[in-house]
């Protein structure tokens, strides 16, 4: 009994950590610009796919990972420069459609140039599972969770201690005020996209050994990341992590104890209930609108 529960928990945490990394990317861009970036899933895909193909071409794993992150970050910068910036101050819905267009373009290009097959990355520390109280955990899962923790700490340091990080927060609070105090908001937005893309890519690379990667993994990962980010409260880094882990655990528990058929629907039922009682999500700030 205990080992079963533990196994479901491990499964939930592993998947949840993936969702958490995806969610952090969403929250970051939302923080800096108020845009929901539907192309976030594609950044995750680019990371995993690039790394897998580089390794297949003979590049050593650490180098492949570094290059893959750079590729995704570059894609993020390009999307911001060519698609978001020209749109200026358009309505949010318009920007959402633009990011959807960007996601389709990236996915389509991957389909044409990188093919439709599935690819695997070699596991970082081998394939032998660790046994803990009767439940098993893959070493790769520890990598995913460990890196997620490091990312969270690094982001906390970045936003709390560095001038650049504080500039991002300032921009998200009030763009005009930030500009007035001399912050280059254009650069901040560019940075946000590049950083989110890099984070997404790291997530995609970390999970590729377990879940494989293909040109269309972005769709599901992006959607789940969005759900996790909203669950935790858009714009909150901690919220994104908690949201992601919660989402993963709910899915695993539903599959284990209720019905594997409805495991994808249960998180949404949960979200609807949470949003009905907490309209800002779990950790979102209560917003006040100026009239």
Partner 1 sequence: MTMKPTTRGFLFLAFVLAVLPLALPNGYYYDLAIRMAINASIAVGLNLLIGYTGQISLGHAGFFGIGAYASAILTSRYGLPSGLALIIGAVATAVLAFAVARPILKLKGHYLAMATLGLGIILSMVIINETELTGGPDGMPVDAFSLFGMQIVGEQAWYVVVALILLLVTRAALNLIDAPAGRALQAIHGAEIAARVAGVDTTSFKVRVFVLSAVVASVMGSITAHYVGFLTPGVAGFFHSIELVTMVVLGGMASVFGSILGAVVLTLLPQLLSAFEGWETVVFGLILMLTMIFLPRGILPTLRLKFAGRAA
Partner 2 sequence: MNKRTFIQFTLAAAACAALGTAAAADPIRIGAVLSVTGPAAYLGDPELKTLQMYVETLNKSGGVLGRPLELVHYDDGSESGKANGFAKRLIENDKVDLIIGGTTSGATMAIAPLVERAQVPFISLAGAVVIVEPTKKWMFKTPHTDRMAAERVFDDMKKAGLTKIALLSENSGFGQSGRKEAQAVAAKYGITLVADETYGPKDTDMTAQLTKIKGVPGVQAVFVFGLGQGPAVVTKNFAQLGIKLPLYQSHGVASDEYIRLAGAAAEGVRLPSPALPVAAKLPATDPQKKVVSDYAKLFAERWKAEPSTFGGYAYDGLMLAADAMGRAGSTDKAKVRDALEATTNFVATSGAFNMSASDHMGLSLSAFRMLEIRNGDWTLLN
Judged by the rule CB under 8 A, the positions of this chain that interact with partner 2 are: 4, 7-8, 10-12, 14-15, 18, 111, 115-118, 120, 127, 129, 136, 138, 207, 210-212, 214, 216-217, 219-220, 251-253, 255-256, 260-261, 263-264
- CB-wise, 62 or 88, nearer to partner 1? 88
Please say whether the beta carbons of 224 and 21 come within 8 A: no
Helix (H, G, I), strand (E, B) or coil at 76: helix
Q: Is 103 in the site for partner 1 (CB under 8 A)?
A: yes
- φ, ψ of residue 250 in degrees (nearest 5): -60, -45
Q: Is 87 in the site for partner 1 (CB under 8 A)?
A: yes
Where does this chain touch partner 1 (CB under 8 A) — which range of 171-179, 188-196, 200-208, 281-289? 281-289
Burial of 93 (0-12, 13-18, 19+ CB in 10 A): exposed
Please say whether the beta carbons of 240 and 229 come within 8 A: yes
Round to whole Å and give the CA distance between 217 and 234: 23
Axis crossing angle, helix 139-161 with helix 2-33, rounded to the nearest 10? 30
Which does residue 217 bind out of partner 1, partner 2, none, counting CB within 5 to 8 angstroms by kind?
A: partner 2
Round to whole Å and give the CA distance between 88 and 243: 30
Q: Which of 90, 136, 179, 185 binds partner 1 (CB under 8 A)?
A: 90
- Name the site residues for partner 1 (rule: CB under 8 A): 30, 36, 83, 86-88, 90-95, 97-98, 100-109, 111-112, 223, 226-227, 230, 234, 261-262, 264-265, 268-269, 271-272, 275-276, 279-281, 287, 289, 291
């Amino acid at each position: 009994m205990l080992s079963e529960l533990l196994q479901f928990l491990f499964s939930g945490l592993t998947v949840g950590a993936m969702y958490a990394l995806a969610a952090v990317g969403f929250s970051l861009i939302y923080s800096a610009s108020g845009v929901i970036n539907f192309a976030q899933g594609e950044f995750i895909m680019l990371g995993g796919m690039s790394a897998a193909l580089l390794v297949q071409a003979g590049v050593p794993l650490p180098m492949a990972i570094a290059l893959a992150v750079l590729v995704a970050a570059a894609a993020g910068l390009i999307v911001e420069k060519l698609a978001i910036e020209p749109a200026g101050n358009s309505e949010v819905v318009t920007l959402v459609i633009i990011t959807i267009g960007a996601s389709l373009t990236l996915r389509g290009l991957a389909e044409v140039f990188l093919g439709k097959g599935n690819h695997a990355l070699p596991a970082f520390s081998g394939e032998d599972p660790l046994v803990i109280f009767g439940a098993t955990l893959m070493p790769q899962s520890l990598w995913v969770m460990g890196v997620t923790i490091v990312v969270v700490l690094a982001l906390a340091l970045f936003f709390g201690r560095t001038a650049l990080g504080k500039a991002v927060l300032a921009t998200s609070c009030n763009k005009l005020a930030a500009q007035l105090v001399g912050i280059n908001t254009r650069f901040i937005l560019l940075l946000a996209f590049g950083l989110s893309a890099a984070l997404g890519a790291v997530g995609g690379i970390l999970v590729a050994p377990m879940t494989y990667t293909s040109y269309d993994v972005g769709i599901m990962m992006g959607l789940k990341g969005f759900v996790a980010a909203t669950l935790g409260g858009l714009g909150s880094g901690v919220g994104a992590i908690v949201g992601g882990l919660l989402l993963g655990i709910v899915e695993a528990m539903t599959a284990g104890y209720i019905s594997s058929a409805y495991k994808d629907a249960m998180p949404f039922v949960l979200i609807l209930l949470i949003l009905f009682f907490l309209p800002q999500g779990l950790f979102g700030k209560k917003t006040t609108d100026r009239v």
